[in-house]
Amino acid sequence: MSTQAAVALVDWGTSNLRVWLVDAEAGVLGERQSPEGMGTLSPDRFAGVLESHLAALGAAPDLPAVVAGMAGARAGWIEAPYAETPAGLMELPRQAVAAPGTGRDVRILPGVCQRTAGAEDVMRGEETQLLGAVSNGLTDALFCLPGTHSKWVSLEEGRISRFSTVMTGELFQLFSRQSILRLSIGEGRASAGHPAFGEAVEEALDPDFSLTTRLFSIRARGLLAGADEASAASRLSGLLLGAEIAAMRPRLGPAQSVQLIGSGALTELYAAALLLAGVQTVSLDGGELVRKGLFAAARALYPQRFPEIAP
Amino acid sequence: MSTQAAVALVDWGTSNLRVWLVDAEAGVLGERQSPEGMGTLSPDRFAGVLESHLAALGAAPDLPAVVAGMAGARAGWIEAPYAETPAGLMELPRQAVAAPGTGRDVRILPGVCQRTAGAEDVMRGEETQLLGAVSNGLTDALFCLPGTHSKWVSLEEGRISRFSTVMTGELFQLFSRQSILRLSIGEGRASAGHPAFGEAVEEALDPDFSLTTRLFSIRARGLLAGADEASAASRLSGLLLGAEIAAMRPRLGPAQSVQLIGSGALTELYAAALLLAGVQTVSLDGGELVRKGLFAAARALYPQRFPEIAP
């Protein structure tokens, strides 16, 4: 087994940066994490920030680096134009863009866009997690990636055939903190164990359900029945997730299961809501998947650096 | 025709106060408007504010006053408990509550609540507009009252059988000013004449449409196609109104028409969206209806003051 670094892998999102040095067999030799996300940097600072982390890891000056995420957005380091759906994940590395300002070979992977009228959508970073899943052999599945902007992605034969961004986390924050519903939700926290959560999910799964015409019931219930804050928060979360799952149900394959990539409170709420909808979930580790996706891209971009594994 | 005041009529909402002196035949003898809404007053100030406006109108000290709106909320002048659906509008005056602190006879009309599980709802003020419609002979219809919190109200034989509050105006403001969509909407204004409005309404009328899973398309379209701000604002408005109309369609009676109470830009957008949905609209003046509703309540509460018209 080699202990020499074959490549640096970089997950550069809006609010975080992760760097790994890996050997030719994907073994992790070193790792760095930092809050120097793309959202905090001007374009001219990316090269210096990456170099400082690579130096701290003892990377050789000629070690190539593969980058995924918002660093490739228009306002990032350099724009890596989107691949379009249907987007073959194993083909993404071909569209990688060379990043300037550093002596080493740095390639930024593209995001994916969908130009379907009315369902226009974009992603940057999630496609690399999915490339990790594909390199693990998972080529046909429905994925759900909970977050401020959750993604639902259909994979067919290793290609992203269709995807949707749902502003779930952001909508929950807006409704519970800024709208009139804040008067009933206060500091209440949504809990999958609260009866109001399950009731709301079931309610929202009804084919005649309409979210916007039911939101105000949270406030009215507080006024009429004196519902507590945890109940109101759980009801809001259940209505949002139930409506989202109802919309995504037609995309479930014959296995009626969803690959859930994430961790934390929101992912737990998704898992509980999916269970109530009769949908099986498989939990996947997003950090591990992005590293695997970056590794698969590195193998495609620099085959000569992976002699033992290259086909 | 009498020119002597029979009663004072008061529409006291969250942000506005309107007072009319009317004679026994509903003729308006004087009128006052003020921004001294319920939201700006502590409970002990209502009596004094009303008295100052009645004095300015030259009302006699023993002239009774009938009040509708948020003045009857828990945090208002004095709580006038809700009547429950199905709520007979001609019977609302019986539940009026006497307001303290002034020498005259002042009665506050109740709001209406709906306790249906999952569709809990409340109104204060709109029921008096609907009482005005009923006193005009309009006893069976579907009403839409656009606003920050729009109301859809089904009237059957003069009773409110069912109603829904939709936070349309508030959601538009939240999404366009506070969410990530603000980056695409900027200072753009929604217009019923913009092609993006009509397209979005049609899209949202589709039975498989889901609002939360399509909102992000507004941002993505801005990124991918460089859509302008007016287009993005019109799309947001069309998606919201289309989803709302789709949810309310099952409540349309055989006439497939809606009584639209309101004026201004938002009401125009509703009228245009309803037209696109193949729904006829009849426009009604909300200010006139509330005065008629208050007058009908006054006749029921003080029959001796209306000798010519009392049955």
**Total domain count for chain A?**
2
Q: Check whether A87 has a pLDDT greater than 90.
A: yes
Q: What is the pLDDT of residues A57-66, one digit of tens each?
A: 999 999 999 9
Q: Cβ of A167 and B203 within 8 Å?
A: no
Asked if residue A160 and residue A13 are part of one domain, the reply reads: yes
Q: What is the mean pLDDT of residues B2-13?
A: 90
Give the distance from residue B150's alpha carbon to the nearest chain A alpha carbon, in angstroms.
10
Q: What is the mean pLDDT of residues A90-118?
A: 97
Q: Look at residue A311 and tell me whether its pLDDT is greater than 70.
A: no
Asked if residue B237 and residue B128 are part of one domain, the reply reads no
Residue B311 forms part of a structural domain: no
Same-domain check for residues B190 and B61? no
Answer whether residue A32 shows pLDDT above 90. Answer: yes
Q: Could you tell me which chain A residue has the CA closest to the CA of B225?
A: A115
The 3-class SS string of chain B reads: CCCCCCEEEEEECCCCEEEEEECCCCCEEEEEEECCCHHHCCHHHHHHHHHHHHHHCCCCCCCCEEEECHHHCCCCCCCCCCEECCEEHHHHHHHCEECCCCCCCEEECCCEEECCCCCCEEECCHHHHHHHHHHCCCCCEEEEECCCCEEEEEEECCEEEEEEEECHHHHHHHHHHCCCCHHHHCCCCCCCCCHHHHHHHHHHHCCCCCCCCCCCHHHHHHHHHCCCHHHHHHHHHHHHHHHHHHHHHHHCCCCCEEEEECCCHHHHHHHHHHHHCCCEEEEECHHHHHHHHHHHHHHHHCHHHCCCCCC
Classify residue B1: in a domain, yes or no. Answer: no
| Domain assignment present for B256 | yes
Interface predicted TM-score of the whole assembly (ipTM), two decimals: 0.93
The whole-angstrom distance between residue A184's C-alpha and the CA centroid of its chain comes to 31
pLDDT bin (cut points 50, 70, 90) of residue A310 is very low
How many whole angstroms separate alpha carbon B80 and alpha carbon A78?
63
Q: Do A122 and B212 lie within an 8 Å CB cutoff?
A: no
Give the pLDDT of residue A121.
Answer: 98
Tell me, yes or no, whether B200 lies in a domain. Answer: yes
Q: What is the per-residue pLDDT across B53-98, written as a single tens digit (0 to 9) for each?
A: 999 999 999 999 999 999 999 999 999 999 999 999 999 999 999 9
Q: What is the pLDDT of chain A when averaged over all its residues?
A: 95
pLDDT on residue A57: 97
Helices (H), chain A: 46-56, 126-135, 168-177, 182-185, 195-205, 211-214, 217-225, 229-248, 265-276, 286-301
Substitution target from A212, A219, A231, A235 for chain B, most B beta carbons within 10 A: A212
- Residue A2 included in any domain: no
CA dist list (Å): A300 to A126, A304, B41, B73: 19, 9, 69, 67
Query: What is the pLDDT averaged over residues B215-242?
Result: 95
Residues of B in contact with A215 (CB under 8 A): 166-167
| Residue B310 belongs to some domain of the structure | no
> CA geometry: angle at A271 spanning A210 and A135, to 5°?
115
pLDDT number for residue B3: 67
Mutate to test the interface with A, among B167, B209, B218, B251 (most CBs of A within 10 A): B167
Q: If DSSP codes are grouped into helix, strand and coil, which group holds residue A276?
A: helix
User: Could you tell me if B292 and B211 lie in one domain?
Assistant: no
CB contact under 8 A, A115 and B224: yes
Same domain, residue pair A171 and A161: no
Peptide bond into A254 cis (omega under 30): no
Structure tokens at A298: 């590195």
Contact indicator for B154, B130 with CB cutoff of 8 Å: no
> Which of A20, A284, A2, A269 has its CA nearest to residue A129?
A284
B150 and B187 both lie in a single domain? no
Chain A residues touching B203 at Cβ < 8 A: 118
Confidence (pLDDT) at A226: 86
Q: How confident is the model at residue A34 (pLDDT cuts 50, 70, 90)?
A: very high
d(CA B84, CA B262): 25
User: Which of A164, A170, A199 is nearest residue B180 as measured by Cβ atoms?
Assistant: A170
Neighbours of A100 (CB within 10 A): 12
Which residues in chain B have Cβ-Cβ distances shorter than 8 Å to A225? 120
Cβ neighbours of A203 in B, within 8 Å: 118
Quick one: three-class SS letters along A182-233?
A: HHHHCCCCCCCCCHHHHHHHHHHHCCCCCHHHHCCHHHHHHHHHCCCHHHHH
Q: Residue A212: its chain B contacts at CB < 8 A? A: 166-168, 171, 211, 240, 243-244, 247
A210 → closest Cβ in B120, B165, B247 = B247
Cβ-Cβ contacts under 8 Å, A210 against chain B: 243-244, 246-247
For residues B181 and B258, membership in a common domain is answered with yes
* C-beta neighbour count of A132 within 10 angstroms: 27
What is the rounded CA–CA span in Å between residue A217 and residue A200? 11
Nearest CA in chain A to B152: A213
How far, in Å, CA of A205 to CA of A207, rounded? 6
Query: Does the distance separating the beta carbons of A210 and B246 come in below 8 Å?
Result: yes
- Indicate the range of A257-261, A306-310, B27-31, B282-286 predicted with least confidence: A306-310
Lowest mean pLDDT across A1-15, A254-268, B40-54, B105-119: A1-15
Nearest CA in chain B to A163: B213
Complete edge-to-edge strand list for the sheet that includes strand A97-98: A28-34, A17-22, A7-12, A65-68, A106-108, A97-98
Q: Which residues contact B61 (CB under 8 A, 6 or more apart)?
A: B103, B104
Q: Between B179, B203, B240, which is nearest A167 by CB?
A: B179
Using alpha carbons, select from B162, B159, B149 the residue that is nearest to residue B119.
B162
For residues B24 and B161, membership in a common domain is answered with yes
Q: What percent of chain B has pLDDT over 90?
A: 95
Please tell me the total number of residues recorded for chain A in this structure: 311
> String of b and e for B37-73 (b: at least 16 CB within 10 Å)?
bbeebebeebbebbbebbeebebeeebbbbbbbbbbb
A226: left (phi over 0), alpha (psi -120 to 50) or beta: left
**Identity of the residue in B167, B212, B246 whose CB atom sits nearest the CB atom of A167:** B212
User: What is the spatial distance between Cα B154 and Cα B111, in angstroms, rounded to a whole number?
Assistant: 16
Rounded to the nearest angstrom, the minimum Cα separation between B267 and chain A is: 17
Which of B126, B206, B213 should be substituted to probe chain A, the one whose Cβ sees the most A Cβ atoms within 10 Å? B213
**Inter-chain residue contact B120 with A221, CB threshold 8 Å:** yes
Residues of chain B positioned with their CB less than 8 A from the CB of A121: 216-217, 220
| Average pLDDT in chain B | 95
Residues A15 and A160 in one domain: yes
Q: Are the C-beta atoms of residues A167 and B154 closer than 8 Å to each other?
A: no
Residue A1 lies inside a defined structural domain of this protein? no
User: Are B260 and B192 in the same domain?
Assistant: yes
- Residue A292 and residue A146 share a domain: yes
Please tell me the distance from the alpha carbon of residue A183 to that of residue A186, in angstroms, as a whole number.
Answer: 6
Point out the residue among A122, A223, A240 whose CB comes nearest to the CB of B212: A240
Residues B115-155: tens digit of each pLDDT: 999 999 999 999 999 999 999 999 999 999 999 999 999 99
Q: What is the distance in angstroms between the Cα of A122 and the nearest Cα belonging to chain B?
A: 6
Report CB contact under 8 Å: B168, A210: no
Interface touch A118/B217, C-beta < 8 Å? yes
Residue of B nearest to A115 (CA): B224
Distance from CA of B249 to the nearest CA of A (A): 11
**A115 contact residues in B (CB cutoff 8 A):** 224-225
Q: Is the pLDDT of residue B220 over 60?
A: yes
User: B2 in a domain, yes or no?
Assistant: no
Residues A158 and A290 grouped into a single domain: yes
Per-residue confidence at A1, pLDDT binned at 50, 70, 90?
A: very low
Q: Which of B70, B113, B120 should be substituted to probe chain A, the one whose Cβ sees the most A Cβ atoms within 10 Å?
A: B120
What residues of B are in contact with residue A220 (Cβ under 8 Å)?
113-114, 120-122, 165
- Residue B148 structural domain: 7-165+286-305
- What pLDDT does B1 receive? 41
CATH at residue A125: 3.30.420.300
- Give the CATH number, domain containing residue A232: 3.30.420.310
